[in-house]
Structure 1
Amino acid sequence: MTPHTRGGVSGATDGGAGTTWVAPPGKPPLSARMMRATWRGLPAKRYEAGWEPDLEVPAADGSLLRTDHYFPRAEGDFPTLLVRSPYGRGVPWSPMYGVLFAEQGFHVVLQSCRGTGGSGGEFHFWRNEAADGRATVDWLRDRPWFNGALGTLGPSYLGYVQWALALDPPPELRAMVVQVGLHDPHALFHRGGALQLENALLVGSGMTSQHRGFGPFLRATLWLRRHFAEMTRALPLRGSYVRGFGGEVPWLDEVMSHPDAGDPFWQGASTGGAAATSRVPTCLIGGWHDALVDQTLEQYGRLRRAGCDTSLLVGPWTHTSALQKGWPEVFAESLAWLRAHLCDDPSGLRPAGVRVHIGGQGHWRDLAEWPPASAVGQWFPAGDGRLIRQPSEATVPLAAFRYDPADPTPSIGGPLLSPAAGSRDNGDLEGRPDVLTFTSEPMNEPMDVLGPVAARLRISTDTGYADVFARLCDVDEKGRSVNVCDGLVRLPTTPAHPLEVTVPMSSTAHRFAPGHRVRLQLSGGAHPRFARNSGSGEPTLDATTLTPVRITVHGGSALELPQVRAER
């Protein structure tokens, strides 16, 4: 590690260059200070924040990366946080990361990724982040205020750039905080063989507009909403986004056009391997209705197997609400981790390595690890719509429905990137003729389900082309059905006889209270969350023919729930 003479507001001298850094007098931007004033329930600030905007950091290829520097206005030896974003450096990033963490005693380097927010070069979803992150650390080493202690921080794609840097971590990197974070772009756009259409459009719109400022982002969001239905129902689907976006987005075309994770196109895209060998203490934060919760849990498992110091917090949040309603908990968790590993102050750490919110009950549970030890309970669909504990005969058809892609089964709530995510009343959805439900008797005692949920189904179709969407729901005493977790798989081309298929339904931490019932919901899709299966066998983006399909569920199917002892 390169030694430096450190400093806060007063001049600080770099021993090698002999230069002195004098903190500029500017306050953080007014928009950041106004948003900062609206937050409640956060720790008291320790320092006033200063701001040094529009610094130019040379990227790996010499392109200039626009960078803002926030700092505490005080004498002292302060560590540095690196926050790299493709979404610009204004609201909400400037107050949430620049101002708040500078007030707590950190230098914060907030940087626009190449091709965004005024930075040079051309943006690509994954090819440049590792090299540009290393180039930024090289630049930091020559700053007179850099004391050699570095942490990284941020949500969503701001998590991806952290994992990219951690593939070959610099020696100064001592802590990471990945909030509702991404590491596998393929899994963001494709799941179970189907295109996650809504995710793709939201990411495309955000990536092309948000870094230009709030006004352009708001106009793009309203324009997308106006044209969303026609974009998602167009035949063919390829290029249908252009009108809503106001132009072509080549990288979006590419990621939508390559559904196979093994395609050479995706080589080098996933940064998940960073966790498999990491020694950088890492705090992971997720939400049960976040579109990236599976990625958060995957990385937690890799870090644990690698013996890395890690913590996990999963709340009752969506991708967006984690940084809104959940921000007091997310900020406190992040701050405690960074102070422990960058400031040698572990006083804010909780004793348990894992804390999860239990849905249906509204309380938190501390655990030694995730998932906890559990017994897999099996619940079996019956021909009369019940969900029972005894398996039915494997050769017996239980129920069937007709899926028509011209009137696709709609998506309601669930793990999305949009504000429409989360638990929703599924009553109208379950009233459709193309949705099957299998429901248990009321629970006599509480049942806690913690861990990965799956549906093991025996399915046949009359055309061979279909998707199966499976959802776990909690039905209360009044009959209100609320989604807990779900998943979808595209069936391989199937003959008429039953095929056994497993539908991974993500993970959850949920309590079924006494008097509530367990429900398994099955359908042929969830549109526009997933692009509809045309039923014709044509590629998703190029299909022009819509063919209905009859889907039959057979005996021998089962819902698998990881059950643990319910705490009082």
Structure 2
Amino acid sequence: MTTTTQHASAKQPPLHIRALRRTFRGLPPKLHDIAYEPGLVVPAADGSALLTDHYFPLAEGDFPTLLVRSPYGRGFPWAPMYGVLFAEQGFHVVLQSCRGTGGSGGTFDLWRHEAADGRATVDWLRRQPWFTGALGTIGASYLGYVQWALAADPPPELRAMVIQVGLHDLHGYFHPGGAFALERTLATSMGMVHQHRGMPRFLQAALRLQRHFRTITRTLPLGTAYVSGLGGRVPFLEEAMAHPEPEDTHWHGADLGSVAENLRVPTSLITGWHDVALDQTLQQYDRLRRAGCDRSLLVGPWTHNSAMQQGWPEVFAESLGWLRAHLCDDPSGLRTTKARVHVAGRQAWQDLPDWPPATTAHHWYLDGDGTLLPRMPENAPAPVSFRYDPADPTPSVGGPLLSGKAGYQDNTALEARDDVLTFTTAPLTEPVHLLGPVGVELRVTTDTGHTDVFARLCDVDDRGRSTNVCDGLRRLRPGPTAATTGAAPAAVTVPMSSAAYSFPAGHRIRLQVSGGAHPRFARNTGTGEPPATATRLLPAEVSLHHPSRLVLPVAGEEFTDANGADGANPER
């Protein structure tokens, strides 16, 4: 039985945490008053002290336990969002600082200790009188990664996981498409180095990075340029830059994607269409689906950050319903379908039996005059080219960013640049509904062999405003994927993430092709030098040859049934 007398060290959560809790809107009413025990010491297998806070309901009865492990400290935002809110709904919440952070002993080392430290924490839970043996995990971003680490050898008590905007592959996070993800890597590193030290130091660090950001992104070599913005050297960041290849032994054990292939723990996945973890989340879902694992997917009109801010009412409801169903035998909060996605263009939520649903691949061919044609041109158009100059890199506008203006943005000014090619359909005579992965199949030559190809799908409205839908980048190197000028073009496929999007009649579909999106991705210097040590800049001429085509997953008329419900407007 859980009573206040069993927790002699219990106290009310700090005043500022209680004040922050009152700022949340659109949440269910609390069921219990709560208390917490701060600074409990959980021994890791090697003896390191893992500092842990325990939140719990002030009520008699047996309550399941949620484990939250974080390298970002145990205060804001995790204390109010997880510790307080879920304890009020009838859960013990164990909120722990990963080793080397938030006062925990040992040295923080990306991914290498998470599985062992998670198992040690479950061993500690088994010795607590209030632990019933019903365990769930929850958390966002890297807090999702540690869940996959625990699930690699899941303890028998683990009955449910909720992974919010979470990742499983750290190499893929640092080097998506083969390019170094500069903007999000700097933001992530700043958070990991400073957030666990308290909010004042975190805010100071964020302001310092903001002041130095432009200088960092324009200075070579990157391996030393970042130091001024982060207040010192960051070993895991330098190691990530120094090891760009996924096969490098440095990354051994960093990709936990295979965990989902044999998992039997019911898992809820939550992401947004402009989340930096979208692609990895959908990969996780696909593997769970193939494994026959009980699963759920929610994709909202969110970025990585806004999912846990503006999207929190939907995210909290989804998470709470999943945890109650699998830890409390209360399925009343579950929907009847496995997937629920927000459809931009319609501004509606759509329930789907699974993801991705059945669609038909529609091909739109790139013509030499900048049009997209619904069928292959009868006469092969001449190649079209652009010059990418890393000294004046093509900027990033919107999309999955951690800082700045993320999400849906006006791309009109970007498309006016000489280094951005656009291909546009005629005005649509009827709506086109996308549901699933988008891609482009190009035939490419380049004069240097070293270049990036950035492709983006946009919606052009009747006023000419071009809004990004989804995109992707692929780094090319000399060899089969990067034919040089004069040789036969190389076939290059650029995955452009997935989308749930309705293009209204009268709008136009547009494809952008360019040589980068800076500083979202570190610019391709054109020399083939490693990103950490490159010091020279070499422009590249990139040509697109026939046949090149955009591939869209188009849903049938059944998509427009009454299944969709009004939802939040996308962030524009």
- Same topology, TM > 0.5: yes
1:281 aligns with 2:270: no
Instruction: Give the root-mean-square deviation of aligned CA atoms.
Output: 1.2
- Does the CA-based 8 Å contact 1:312-1:354 persist in structure 2? yes
Give secondary structure in 2 for the equivalent of 1:458: strand
Q: Does structure 2 conserve the Cα–Cα contact (< 8 Å) formed by 1:160 and 1:182?
A: yes
The yes-or-no answer on 1:303 pairing with 2:294 is no
Matched, 1:551 2:542: yes
Q: CA–CA distance in 1 between the matches of 2:249 and 2:470?
A: 31
Distance 2:247 2:424 in 1: 38
Tell me, yes or no, if the aligned pair for 1:31 and 1:91 is still in contact at 8 Å. no
Residue 227 of structure 2 aligns to which amino acid in structure 1?
V
**Is structure 2 residue 529 aligned with structure 1 residue 538?**
yes
Question: Which deviations, in whole Å up to 9, do the C-alpha atoms of 1:434-460 show, x marking residues without a partner?
Answer: 111000011111111111110100111
Give the counterpart of 2:484 among 490, 495, 509.
Answer: 495
Greater shift after overlay, 442-451 or 96-105?
Answer: 442-451
Inter-partner Cα distance in structure 1 for 2:325 and 2:417: 52
Rounded to whole Å, the distance in 2 between the matches of 1:394 and 1:142 is: 75
Residue pair 1:115, 1:123 contacting (<8 A) in 2 also: yes
Number of matched pairs: 553
Partner in structure 2 of residue 526 of structure 1: 517
Q: What's the TM-score, normalizing by structure 1?
A: 0.96
| Mapped pair 1:564 → 2:558 | no
Structure 1 stretch 154-163 or stretch 380-389: which is displaced more?
380-389
Deviations 1:142-162 (A, max 9, x none): 101111100000000000010
Matches within 5 A, 1:185-334: 185-334=170-319
AA at the equivalent of 1:163: W
CA-to-aligned-CA distance 1:146-191 (integer Å, 9 cap, x gap): 1110000000000001000000000100000000001100110002
Provide the residue aligned with 1:75 in structure 2. 60
Instruction: In structure 1, give the amino acid aligned to 2:308.
Output: L
Separation in 1, partners of 2:220, 2:165: 33
Letter of the 2:203 counterpart? L
Q: Post-superposition shift, 1:110?
A: 0.3
Offset, 1:360: 1.4
Does structure 1 retain, via aligned residues, the 8 Å contact 2:238–2:532?
Answer: no
Please give the per-residue CA displacement for 1:2-55, whole angstroms capped at 9, x wherever unaligned. Answer: xxxxx22245xxxxxxxxx33545111112111111111101110011111010
Asked if structure 1 preserves the Cα contact closer than 8 Å seen for 2:434 and 2:499, the reply is: yes
| Amino acid across the alignment from 1:347 | S
Q: Distance in 2 between matches of 1:25 and 1:209?
A: 28
Cα distance in structure 2, aligned partners of 1:419 and 1:361: 26
Q: SS of the counterpart of 1:397?
A: coil
Which residue matches 2:402?
A: 417
Call closer, same or farther: CA 1:25–1:266 in 2, change over 3 Å. closer
2:499 is aligned with 1:505:
no
Cα distance in 1 between the residues matched to 2:65 and 2:536: 56
CA distance in 2, matches of 1:419, 1:287: 17
Q: For residues 109-149 of structure 1, give each alpha carbon's deviation from its aligned partner in whole angstroms, at most 9, with x where no partner exists.
A: 00000000000000011000000000000000010111110
Partners of 2:442 and 2:545 within 8 A in 1: yes
* Stretch deviating more after TM superposition (285-294 or 456-465): 456-465
**What CA deviation, in whole Å up to 9, does each residue of 1:491-532 have, x standing for no partner?**
121321321100010111111011111000010110111111
CA offset at residue 396 of structure 1? 3.9
Residue in 2 that maps onto 1:162: 147
Measure, in 2, the Cα distance between the counterparts of 1:315 and 1:386: 31
1:393-404 → structure 2 map (5 Å cutoff)? 396-404=381-389
2:507 aligned residue (513, 516, 519)? 516
For 2:366 and 2:337, the matched residues in 1 are separated by 38
- Greater shift, 396-405 or 324-333, is seen at 396-405
Is this contact kept in 2: 1:199–1:529, CA < 8 A?
yes
Distance 1:471 1:531 in 2: 17
Q: Which amino acid aligns with 2:262?
A: T
Helix, strand or coil at the partner of 2:195 = helix
Is the Cα contact below 8 Å between 2:477 and 2:528 reproduced in 1? no
Q: Structure 1 residue 393: deviation in Å?
A: 6.4
2:71 to 86, 93, 100: 86
CA contact (8 A) 1:393 1:555 kept: no
Report the residue type matching 2:89 in the other structure. Answer: Q
Partner residue in 2 for 1:4 = none
Letter in structure 2 aligned against 1:543: A
Indicate conservation of the 8 Å contact 2:444/2:543, yes or no. yes
Rounded to whole Å, the distance in 1 between the matches of 2:379 and 2:159 is: 54
- Using the alignment, how far apart are the partners of 2:119 and 2:529 within structure 1? 43
Instruction: For 1:510, give the aligned amino acid.
Output: Y
Are 1:80 and 1:146, in contact at CA under 8 Å, matched by a contact in 2? yes
| Distance in 2, Cα, partners of 1:280 & 1:269 | 21
Query: Kindly, what percent of the aligned residue pairs are identical?
Result: 64
Unaligned runs of 5+ in 2: 562-572
Residue in 2 aligned with 1:483? 468
Matches of 2:499 and 2:23, distance apart in 1: 32
CA contact (8 A) 2:451 2:540 kept: yes
Q: CA deviation at 1:540?
A: 2.2
How far, CA to CA, are the matches of 1:397 and 1:145 in structure 2?
72
Q: Are residues 1:468 and 2:468 paired?
A: no
Indicate the residue corresponding to 2:37 in structure 1: 52
2 CA distance for matches of 1:10 and 1:430? 62
SS of the counterpart of 1:105? coil
Q: Do the aligned residues in 2 keep the contact of 1:392 with 1:555 (CA within 8 Å)?
A: no
Task: Determine the structure 2 residue equivalent to 1:9.
Answer: 3
Preserved contact between residue 36 and residue 96 of structure 1 (Cα < 8 Å): yes
Residue type at the aligned position of 1:495: T
2:414 is the counterpart of 1:429: yes
Preserved CA contact (<8 Å) 1:319 1:418: no
The answer for the alignment partner of 1:14 in structure 2 is: none
The equivalent position to 1:95 in structure 2, one of 80, 85, 106, is 80
List per-residue Cα deviations over 1:384-406 (Å, max 9, x = no partner). 11111122368643321111110
Task: Report the secondary structure of 2:225's partner residue.
Answer: coil
SS in 1 for 2:165: strand
Aligned counterpart, 1:459: 444
